[in-house]
Amino acid sequence: MDFKLSKEQEMIQKAAREFAEKSIRPIAGQIEKEGMIPAEIMQGMADLELFGIAYPEEYGGTGAGYVCYVLAAEQIAQASSSVAGVYSVHYLGTSAIASFGSPEQKAKYLPLAGSGEKISSFAFTEPGTGSDPKQITTVAIRDGDDYVINGVKRFISAAYLEGPIVIFARDSETGHPTALLVDKFCPGYSVSEPWKKIGLHGSKVVDVYLKDVRVPASAVLGPKGQGYQVLQAGISFGKVGMCAGSLGGMQAALDASIKYAKEKSHREGTIAKFPTIQVAIAKMAEKVEASRWLTYRLAWLADNTTDLISFAKMAAMTKAFVAEAGVDVARLAVGVHGSYGLMDDYEVSHIYCDAIISEQTEGVADMQRLITGGSLLR
Ligand SMILES: Cc1cc2nc3c(=O)[nH]c(=O)nc-3n(C[C@H](O)[C@H](O)[C@H](O)COP(=O)(O)OP(=O)(O)OC[C@H]3O[C@@H](n4cnc5c(N)ncnc54)[C@H](O)[C@@H]3O)c2cc1C
């Protein structure tokens, strides 16, 4: 067992940290206020080859792997959860293509996704359900050599940015959910105004309207009628990025709390002298450390495992723990800051809202526990 990062991993972590500190952190507030990530940030990440970091070189990636991806995403999330959010959903969609795509699909989509020219999305949730594939109502009706897709997808990240989107629809031949690859903004594709949510304002979610969207039969991703398998695997890889995002937020909350505790005066000293503050900081540090190693291990498994079922279980366990720890750490950080922690001007108030969101997305925490508990009790 070796807990030491390789030279390459250290280099990528350092490059991402420097970029996040120099280019993202100074405008993190602006990103939240304006609800958009400037093109220069996306370009800067593309220049560092971060979008293709986990994908094979033959498809335009760097082949550095998921551990490097997590190291980079963690640094980015420390500066802005929104930028990390878009980075993570892009990986969610692209991972499904990398895992299940035919050679033609990979050749068509991975190079552009890997260079950051196109941003991938992954659309499962509908107005009726976000957790249950049996309830999806979007349909893909076979028509000659094509499928015609109709339905509505809800709360879809990055669906307003050009690129591929993985759509889950019930196909007319098997009657089961099937994953299909669609180009965003093709005829029949449109999106709603962004939802107004409590945080992650720079990583918007929209509803996607699919009206007679026609795709060739070759757009099916993975086995027909087995969209659930694509969903489970895709979301499991997506959870690696979700955990890295939570981890970055937690570290930022801990750093801000240590700084605040050492600066906030109380009589002749600062609030850092209080045992209550010390215990809060210690609890935060414990959760950050535990989350970090669980997340790194999940990334290592993403690079090394071929057993997708075991990986899905580990991803569920890690995501439930890390997302909940993110909320705990953010709440403790707000406590260390007192009323200032509730103010918009203070970073920890945003981290808290972002952490609550992470707990509910890409698998609600309790649903993750049902996966873990169910497999342990089988
Ligand atoms: C910022 C953000 C980004 C998002 N991005 C995407 C995206 O890119 N793509 C996408 O497809 N979706 C996306 N979503 C949607 C999100 O993943 C879903 O909303 C989420 O999975 C929960 O679905 P739901 O809201 O329909 O809740 P439901 O599935 O209705 O669940 C509601 C509650 O019931 C519980 N519950 C549900 N079923 C069961 C069960 N069988 N047993 C026990 N308890 C159960 C859940 O734990 C939860 O507490 C995003 C949401 C947000 C807020």
301 and 212 inside one domain: no
Give the integer Cα–Cα distance in Å for 239 and 361.
Answer: 10
Tell which of 199, 221, 243 closes a domain. 221
Q: What is the whole-number distance in angstroms between the Cα of residue 366 and the centre of ligand 1?
A: 11
33 and 171 inside one domain: no
| Ligand 1 pocket test, candidate residues 137, 182, 191, 360, most atoms within 8 A of CB | 360
Residues pairing with 209 in the sheet: 152, 190
Grade residue 371 by pLDDT with cuts at 50, 70 and 90. Answer: confident
Give the integer Cα–Cα distance in Å for 347 and 352.
Answer: 9
pTM: 0.95
24 and 148 inside one domain: no
Work out whether the CA dihedral 191, 192, 195, 200 comes out positive or negative: positive
Nearest partner of 24 among 169, 202, 233, 193, judged by Cα: 202
What CATH number does the domain containing 85 carry? 1.10.540.10
Grade residue 367 by pLDDT with cuts at 50, 70 and 90. Answer: confident
Q: Is 213 in the pocket of ligand 1 (CB under 6 A)?
A: no
**Count: domains in the chain:** 3
241 and 138 inside one domain: no
Does residue 195 lie in a domain region? yes
75 and 158 inside one domain: no
201 and 255 inside one domain: no
Domain coverage including residue 207: 121-221
Q: Which two tokens stand for residue 284?
A: 């935060």
Does residue 199 lie in a domain region? yes
Q: Is the pLDDT of residue 304 over 90?
A: yes
Per the annotation, the verdict on 268 as an active-site residue is: no
Q: Is 310 in the pocket of ligand 1 (CB under 6 A)?
A: no
213 and 250 inside one domain: no
pLDDT for the residue numbered 60: 84
Q: Is 365 in the pocket of ligand 1 (CB under 6 A)?
A: no
Tell which of 171, 189, 221 closes a domain. 221
SS3 annotation, 225-274: CCHHHHHHHHHHHHHHHHHHHHHHHHHHHHHHHHHHHHHCEECCEEHHHC
103 and 33 inside one domain: yes
Grade residue 306 by pLDDT with cuts at 50, 70 and 90. Answer: confident
Q: Is the pLDDT of residue 375 over 90?
A: no
Do 291 and 321 touch, CB atoms closer than 8 A? yes
- H-state helical runs in the chain: 7-19, 28-34, 39-47, 66-79, 81-100, 103-114, 227-263, 275-304, 308-337, 347-360, 365-376
| Ligand 1 pocket test, candidate residues 120, 125, 324, most atoms within 8 A of CB | 125
Q: What is the pLDDT of residues 55-100, one digit of tens each?
A: 888 888 898 999 999 999 999 999 999 999 999 999 999 999 998 9
Does residue 337 lie in a domain region? yes
Q: What is the whole-number distance in angstroms between the Cα of residue 125 and the centre of ligand 1?
A: 7
What CATH number does the domain containing 324 carry? 1.20.140.10
pLDDT for the residue numbered 193: 97
Does residue 2 lie in a domain region? no
Atom of ligand 1 nearest to the CA of 158: 8
What CATH number does the domain containing 171 carry? 2.40.110.10
Contacts of 100 (CB under 8 A, 6+ apart): 179, 221, 222, 230, 233, 234
Q: Is the pLDDT of residue 365 over 90?
A: no
Tell which of 187, 221, 255 closes a domain. 221
152 and 270 inside one domain: no
Q: What is the pLDDT of residues 182-237, one digit of tens each?
A: 999 999 999 999 999 999 999 999 999 999 999 999 999 999 999 999 999 899 99
245 and 212 inside one domain: no
Does residue 50 lie in a domain region? yes
Q: Is 359 in the pocket of ligand 1 (CB under 6 A)?
A: no
What letter represents residue 225's amino acid? Answer: G
Q: Is 155 in the pocket of ligand 1 (CB under 6 A)?
A: yes
Q: Is 135 in the pocket of ligand 1 (CB under 6 A)?
A: no
Give the integer Cα–Cα distance in Å for 295 and 88.
Answer: 14
Mean of pLDDT values over 143-168: 97
368 and 231 inside one domain: yes
Q: Which residue's CA lies nearest to atom 49 of ligand 1?
A: 364
Q: Which residue's CA lies nearest to atom 44 of ligand 1?
A: 367
Does residue 40 lie in a domain region? yes
Atom of ligand 1 nearest to the CA of 365: 47
77 and 22 inside one domain: yes
Q: Is 366 in the pocket of ligand 1 (CB under 6 A)?
A: yes
Longest dimension (CA), the chain: 80
